[in-house]
Structure 1
Amino acid sequence: MNIALRQLKVFVTVAQELTITAAAEKLFLSKPAVSMALSELEKQLGHKLFDRNNNRLLINDQGRRLLPLADELLARSQDIEQLFCQEGPVTGKLKIGSSDTVGNQVTPFLLRDFRAESGHTDQSLFISNTAQICQMLTEFELDVGLVEGKVHLKELHAIPWLGDEMVVACHPAHPLAQSPSLTLADLEHSHWILREPGSGTREYFLSRLSPRLEHWHQAFELNNTEAIINCAAAGLGITCLSRRAVSHAVKDQRLVILDLPLDMQRQYWLLYHREKYQSPLLKLFLAFCQRWPDKVSDPVIT
């Protein structure tokens, strides 16, 4: 058996893209070349790696067994290629995924400090909701994830990371902002501006706040935190967001934070695939992330 790295690259890309057409575009190859490489690999292994469903290829159990090993071999080959191409103790590209709040409010400062300490500058950052980041980690499209939503996937190792505080915020002229002393009962029948399903921020609201309310109404569902802030600032409803996310709008007096008798602490999480090959670069970054909170008092303003 003589499996080529080219075949493994095609296999991993098809597993991530789900169609021959998309994989061919990403690899800058023709569709026949991609189909041939995948067929050759399956013939050599004696197993089909995908179930065919119309034009989509869905990875099967055999393919899932191969995926972490193929990812590791490709990562090790990249380490070899870059071994003498970059000065400094670590080489390679680091693919980081962050959920919206973490990615916008925290990760840029984490990367600033990591670059300053390690000298490594070849990183990519993908920002989406927690569900999307987890999906990309399970498919080995990302090396590490930094999210605010609780994760229950057995494939992923989740390490508690930074602490966070959620707040309820609204326009300064909103009736709730005029009350000197609020209770949960005052939030009944409110119109809420919320994140989309799959967001850690939405999951927090649905699991921790909405069960305490008998009547609430979703006014808007948006997939962008800044859009939610602007809608709340326009008086279209109230929202539940991270204190980090709304701090600039509060400073500009576009929003106020309601003083509620609630403990609204939550946890950020550091994620990586349990079977992901940990290159020297990935090990260095994971270790840096875990000790970074001890170095900063507030990563938003430091």
Structure 2
Amino acid sequence: MELSSLRIFKTVAEEGSVTLAAARLHRVQSNVSARLTQLEESLGVTLFHRAGRRLLITPEGTRLLEYADRLLRLADEAQMALRGEQEPSGQLRIGSMETTAAARLPRVLGAFHRQYPQVDLVLETGPTDHLVQAVLNHKVDLALVAAPIERPELAQVPVFVEELVLLTDALQGPVQEPADVARRTLLGFRSGCSYRRRLEWWFADAGITPTRIAEFGTFEAIIGCVAAGMGVAMMPREVLKQRSLGRTVQCHDLPPEVAAVETLLVWRRDIPHHPARDAFAASF
């Protein structure tokens, strides 16, 4: 397998279209189609199902994509190491928790882009568990996740400490313990979110089983549902400081052992040379 063929395959997989992949690679469509067909024939498998103008990746294609990501990344690293390139450049794939991306990253990303305009920043958000797997599987180069992370394959650096608060609607009375909101629905991100786990643990430690847990994709949706009286949520105070919530919601302090959570920057230990990643880590 040639690296150029793998790069074409990876681009087609990301774009889901030969036309879009050809435009991104600055190649003619016939060349991209021919190289893709040659790769399928050499491997003896079908990498994509054709659905009109869209290409849907097959299970075999998904497996190859994992290897292609790793091989292309290693090739780029080898090239940089042999050339002695130290100036950050190329693509940097950053993973971040949704709330961290909203509250903390705009300033960091803005400053980094001004200092290193030749670095192409790509941001992916998700819960901590998803992001850890994305780093391990070479989907992102580094990620901002919530502690603790016990993976020896990952290097980790603490970057800041978040203070979590309990968010309720404006009509809720004082909250000292989980029993004060025992009958409320817990609102949070999908499974794998460390803040949601912390909220569930706070309830479980008090011997209370939530009546219901509702999952959402964005923190804005969670805040809106809290304001509507649909339930309670746990979020970093920093996110709420940056939004004008008026009198629609209340923030309740939590015990220190629940409220304080460290945010870590993590990346794979077995990729020691990555100028853009290292420069980004140094920006905190």
Same fold (TM over 0.5): yes
Give yes or no for the alignment of 1:235 onto 2:229.
Answer: yes
What is residue 73 of structure 2 aligned with on the other side?
Answer: 71
Given the alignment, which residue of 178, 189, 197 partners 2:191?
197
Residues 25-74 of structure 1 deviation map (CA, whole Å, 9 limit, x = unaligned): 7743655632523654x69xxxx9x9xxx9311538xx978864442203
TM-superposition CA deviations, 1:183-239 (whole Å, max 9, x none): 343232332222211223222223444433423222532121110001111122221
Compared CA separation, residues 229 and 76, structure 1 to 2 (3 A): same
Q: Which amino acid aligns with 2:236?
A: S
Does residue 96 in structure 1 map to residue 91 in structure 2?
A: no
Distance 1:79 1:27 in 2: 28
**Residue of structure 2 equivalent to 1:256:** 250
Call closer, same or farther: CA 1:219–1:138 in 2, change over 3 Å.
Answer: closer
- Give the gaps of 5 or more residues in structure 1: 293-302
Q: What runs of 5+ residues in structure 2 fail to find an aligned partner? A: 23-28, 48-56
> In 2, are the aligned partners of 1:194 and 1:218 still within 8 Å (CA)?
no
Which deviates more, 155-164 or 246-255? 246-255
Three-state SS of the structure 2 residue aligned to 1:74 is helix
State the aligned residue count: 263
Q: Which residue of 1 aligns with 2:52?
A: none
For 1:73-93, what per-residue CA distance to the aligned partner results, in whole angstroms no more than 9, with x for missing partners? 035558999x8xxxx943222
* Conserved 8 A contact 1:149-1:204: no
Tell me which amino acid in the other structure corresponds to 1:257.
Answer: C
Alignment-derived partner of residue 156 in structure 2: 158
Equivalent position SS for 1:59: helix
1:143 to 141, 144, 148: 141
Q: Give, as a single letter, the amino acid of the residue that structure 1 aligns with 2:75.
A: L
Are the structure 2 counterparts of residues 250 and 66 from structure 1 closer, same or farther at C-alpha, using a change threshold of 3 Å?
A: closer
Query: CA separation in 2, counterparts of 1:213 and 1:22?
Result: 48
RMSD across aligned positions (CA): 3.7
Q: In the TM superposition, what whole-angstrom CA distance separates every residue of 1:230-282 from its partner, at most 9, and x where no partner exists?
A: 11111222211111222245752321112444531111111212333633222
Q: Name the counterpart of 1:55.
A: 58
Structure 1 residues 227 and 5, CA gap change in structure 2 (3 angstroms): same
- One-letter amino acid matched to 1:279: H
Report the AA paired with residue 183 of structure 2: H
Preserved contact between residue 193 and residue 219 of structure 1 (Cα < 8 Å): yes
The partner residue of 2:267 within 268, 272, 288 is 272
Match of 2:282 in 1: 287
Summarize the Cα distance change of 1:65–1:222 in structure 2 as closer, same or farther, 3 Å threshold. Answer: closer
Structure 1 pair 287/23, CA: closer, same or farther in 2 (3 Å)?
Answer: farther
Structure 2 residue corresponding to 1:126, chosen from 113, 124, 130? 124
| Corresponding letter in the other structure for 1:229 | I
TM-score, structure 1 normalization? 0.70
Give the alignment's TM-score, normalised by structure 2. 0.74
Q: Kindly tell me: are residues 5 and 215 of structure 1, through their superposed partners in 2, closer, same or farther at Cα, counting changes over 3 Å?
A: closer
Percent identical: 19
**1:283 aligned partner, one-letter code:** D
Matches of 2:211 and 2:153, distance apart in 1: 35
The change in CA–CA distance for 1:135 and 1:259 in structure 2 (over 3 A counts) is closer
- Of 200, 203, 207, 1:206 maps to 200
1:262/1:190 CA distance change after superposition, 3 Å: farther
Q: Which residue of 2 aligns with 1:225?
A: 219
Q: Which residue of 1 aligns with 2:110?
A: 112
Contact 1:105 1:245 (C-alpha < 8 Å) held by counterparts: yes
- Distance change (3 Å), C-alpha of 1:260 and 1:162: closer
Match of 2:179 in 1: 185
Range with greater deviation from structure 2 (271-280 or 193-202): 271-280
Cα 1:67/1:95, change in 2 over 3 Å: closer
